[in-house]
Amino acid sequence: MNEQVCSQKKCRNLSRADFLGLAVPTFAAFWTMMAGYPIYRYLLPKPGEGEAQSKVGSVTLGAVGEVPAGTGKNFRFGSTPAIITHTEDGEFHAFKAICTHLGCTVQFREDTDQIWCACHGGCYDPTSGKNIAGPPPKPLEPLKVAVVDGKIVVSQG
Ligand code: FES
């Protein structure tokens, strides 16, 4: 009986040791991935950089009424995510929708009237694309917008 208890106790101690033997390296690997992922993303070329993006000269989005004043809309500029905003002053503004922090795709938020990055809460001005809050280090890359025959045409900035 006593031997069996000791045996169980020994097993329990071994279990803890085994658990720690697995948990510590697992935690270390997880922590390394968490710390290394932003560096990995920073070193990767941003989506849309390179040859495919340069092949697109302009994109026709549709009628002016499809982007009402006070709203914004994401679209593809070739392989590059892009965003157009229609500010209350009646002007259209377009940018590459690639966050300058770590490359997430930004979106327009009507409730705050800002371009917003969900990854780390970065905010941009919808008129100029200027980084105004959060971690983004520089403004969004601008695109040109023109209204041709009642349609919105976006071209390289
Ligand atoms: S990737 Fe946009 S705020 Fe970090």
What six digits make up the tokens of 89?
Answer: 């002053």
Rounded CA-CA distance 53/68 in Å is: 27
Encode pLDDT of 73-114 as tens digits: 999 999 899 999 999 899 999 999 999 999 999 999 999 999
- For the chain, the 3-state helix, strand and coil shares in percent, each to the nearest 5, are 30, 30, 35
Atom of ligand 1 nearest to the CA of 102: 1
Rounded CA-CA distance 65/51 in Å is: 32
Q: Which residue has the higher pLDDT, 15 or 60?
A: 60
Q: Give CATH superfamily name and number for 51-156.
A: Rieske [2Fe-2S] iron-sulphur domain (2.102.10.10)
> What integer best gives the mean pLDDT of the chain?
86
* pTM of model > 0.85: no
Q: Tell me how far the alpha carbon of residue 85 lies from the centroid of ligand 1, in angstroms.
A: 19
Q: Tell me how far the alpha carbon of residue 65 lies from the centroid of ligand 1, in angstroms.
A: 30
Q: Is the pLDDT of residue 9 over 60?
A: no
Q: What is the dihedral of CA 15, 16, 21, 22, to 10 degrees?
A: 70
pLDDT over 90 percentage in the chain: 61
Which one, of 117, 122, 61, lies nearest residue 92 by Cα?
61
Q: Tell me how far the alpha carbon of residue 79 lies from the centroid of ligand 1, in angstroms.
A: 20
Specify the residue with its C-alpha closest to ligand 1, atom 4.
120
Q: Tell me how far the alpha carbon of residue 70 lies from the centroid of ligand 1, in angstroms.
A: 23
Q: Which residue has the higher pLDDT, 17 or 135?
A: 135
Q: Is the pLDDT of residue 145 over 80?
A: yes
Q: Which residue has the higher pLDDT, 152 or 14?
A: 152
